[in-house]
Chain A
Amino acid sequence: MKLGYLSTLKTVGTLTTKIAIVAAASIGGASLVSSSVFAALTASATNTTATAVSSGYMSLTQAPGGASGGFTTAITAMAPLDSVVRLVTLTNASTLNAASMTVAVSDATPTVLTTNGTTGLQTTIQQCSVAYTAVTYACSGSETTVRAASSLLSLATPQALTLIPASLLAGGVTYLKVTISLPDSTDNTLNGVIPAGIQNKSAALTWTIAATQRTATTTNS
């Protein structure tokens, strides 16, 4: 198209004609993009009652479930194959429904516990439709695994929590059971000398559960 246009210009002939074409282009372009108008008279209609418009917000809170230590109390002296189960209650205190939720874990003092996906800590997250029972942490409602066994290394970047839909609604409450496990180990300790490996390591974990707003909508109302 561009070549054809230039070719056409070449065939037009006189300088005067070319000037006329350029001028027409400028005026035409300006006329197509300009929104300026000159009005001699104006009129307006204003609503007498202010239209209230408010934006929604997203707010998630997490707290230990029941008497559990949740994500707040320490876990100490784990041995290989040990598991510690914690309950966490997640509340979607938003005015907007959530479209999805993710979980991520960061470690302020990284060691093999969070930098090795095989020998480091692992976690599984389950959800119960009602609050878990005390002591046994049983689910009397419907229980689903919302995050299959994952290394904490893999959770260094946010990973999806496949929650039941009701959890995503504004005001929804989610009951989570988080199992933190230390995998089997091949560490041998000869004459009490602790080898490099998973023994005697510490992590300072920060669990972040995040949600994004529901899909934007266009409403005729």
Chain B
Amino acid sequence: MKKIKLALIAAVVGAMSLAPTQLLPAAAAILGSAVSPSQSVSTGNYGAVAGASSAATATSAFVVDTMVSSCSFNQSTVNSNTPNNSSTISLVAVTNLAVGMIISTTTGIAAGTKVTAINTGTRVITITPNTTAQIGKSVALTFSGCYQKYFNVNNIRSIALSSFQIQQTVNTTAPDSVTLQSCAGTWTEATGACTGAITNIVVTNSGTSAFTTVTGALAATTGTVRLRALSNTSGRTSTISINIARVNLRAAITTNS
């Protein structure tokens, strides 16, 4: 009996030793696939520059210099007297006026008197020094010392813009200033007149301004807008930088194509 058991054990061991030890490869499933041809996807680019003309494309800050003194504006006092030694004057309008402009009239204004502040709501200007005599009703004042130069902001990239951000660095000190302005119509550059409303974009007395957003569509590649740098004194410069962020781009588009 014992030998039979041993023989059986030996038979099993023998079978194990001769049995295959390698796994058979698994059967592969059938696959199907649909492969597209190569599809090109590209992104656009965005950017704008300031320059002397609509053709400017140089990718660097633009220096506005050699401003030309070719503009002066008349505005009248309101229908009430301005007392002697007053630091403010009420005007009928403050259109085209800028801080730093020099005021002149027949009486009551000392030579070299400058505008130091403008309240466009009340149409009251602040001056320095104070009036030297009473100024009568509806008297015309001449505001001069407006040295101006025009320049363009050009969209030189492939994505249309809805606005742009502009910054200037000036070499003035308060109360002198450089004002960047836009015109809702068309500039007459020889006289400084604008067929629409003039908007002060940024007024900078010294140093570098913050980036200020200017709203207005600029078509891809070709869009341009003409702006004016206005200073009240000669020899001033403004170095213009243009920044474009995503918020300045045209509205996003979903295209079924």
A residues with a Cβ closer than 8 A to B are 5, 8, 12, 21-22, 24-33, 56-62, 68-86, 90, 92, 94, 96, 98, 108, 113, 121, 135-137, 179-180, 182, 184-194, 198-213, 216
Contact of B256 among A56, A136, A190, A205 (CB under 8 A): A136
Is B40 an interface residue when CB atoms closer than 8 A count as contact? yes
Q: In whole Å, how far is B244's beta carbon from the nearest beta carbon of chain A?
A: 4
Chain A residues near B226 (CB-CB < 8 A): none
Chain B residues near A74 (CB-CB < 8 A): 39-42
Contact of B38 among A77, A108, A190 (CB under 8 A): A108
Assess whether B47 is in contact with A193, with CB atoms less than 8 Å apart. yes
Assess whether B243 is in contact with A213, with CB atoms less than 8 Å apart. no
Contact of A78 among B8, B9, B42 (CB under 8 A): B42
Q: In whole Å, how far is B115's beta carbon from the nearest beta carbon of chain A?
A: 32
Assess whether B257 is in contact with A207, with CB atoms less than 8 Å apart. no
Assess whether B241 is in contact with A191, with CB atoms less than 8 Å apart. yes
Contact of A79 among B8, B32, B35, B249 (CB under 8 A): B249
CB-CB nearest in chain A for B56: A192
Q: In whole Å, how far is A150's beta carbon from the nearest beta carbon of chain B?
A: 15
CB-CB nearest in chain B for A193: B59
Contact of B29 among A188, A205, A213 (CB under 8 A): A213
Q: Roughly how many angstroms separate A98 CA and B30 CA in the complex, as a whole number?
A: 10
Chain B residues near A191 (CB-CB < 8 A): 47, 49-50, 59-61, 241-243
Q: Knowing A29-B11, A58-B30, A192-B57 touch, does A201 contact B243 (C-beta < 8 A)?
A: no
Q: A79-B253, A189-B48 known; 8 other A-B pairs, CB under 8 Å?
A: A32-B15, A71-B37, A74-B41, A75-B40, A189-B244, A189-B245, A191-B60, A209-B33
Report the tally of A-B residue pairs with Cβ distances under 8 A.
Answer: 233
CB-CB nearest in chain A for B57: A192
Assess whether B6 is in contact with A192, with CB atoms less than 8 Å apart. no
Encode B231-242 as 1/0 by CB contact (under 8 A) with A.
000000000011
Assess whether A192 is in contact with B37, with CB atoms less than 8 Å apart. no
Is B190 an interface residue when CB atoms closer than 8 A count as contact? no
CB-CB nearest in chain A for B243: A190
Assess whether B34 is in contact with A60, with CB atoms less than 8 Å apart. yes
Chain B residues near A82 (CB-CB < 8 A): 252-255
Is B14 an interface residue when CB atoms closer than 8 A count as contact? yes
Is B106 an interface residue when CB atoms closer than 8 A count as contact? no
Chain A residues near B159 (CB-CB < 8 A): 77, 79
Q: Roughly how many angstroms separate A186 CA and B48 CA in the complex, as a whole number?
A: 16
Chain B residues near A190 (CB-CB < 8 A): 241-243
Q: In whole Å, how far is B221's beta carbon from the nearest beta carbon of chain A?
A: 11
Assess whether B34 is in contact with A62, with CB atoms less than 8 Å apart. yes
Is B45 an interface residue when CB atoms closer than 8 A count as contact? yes
CB-CB nearest in chain A for B167: A190
Assess whether A78 is in contact with B246, with CB atoms less than 8 Å apart. no
Assess whether B33 is in contact with A210, with CB atoms less than 8 Å apart. yes
Chain B residues near A59 (CB-CB < 8 A): 32
Within B1-43, which residues are at the interface with A (CB < 8 Å)?
6-19, 27, 29-43
Assess whether A96 is in contact with B30, with CB atoms less than 8 Å apart. yes
Q: In whole Å, how far is A64's beta carbon from the nearest beta carbon of chain B?
A: 10
Q: In whole Å, how far is B63's beta carbon from the nearest beta carbon of chain A?
A: 12
Highest count of chain A CB atoms <10 Å: which of B17, B31, B36, B61: B36
Task: Supply 29 A–B pairs (Cβ within 8 Å), ascending by A.
Answer: A24-B7, A25-B13, A26-B14, A29-B15, A29-B17, A32-B15, A68-B257, A70-B36, A77-B42, A80-B249, A84-B254, A85-B255, A94-B32, A121-B41, A185-B246, A187-B246, A188-B244, A189-B48, A189-B244, A191-B59, A191-B61, A191-B241, A192-B156, A194-B47, A202-B40, A203-B42, A205-B36, A209-B33, A212-B30
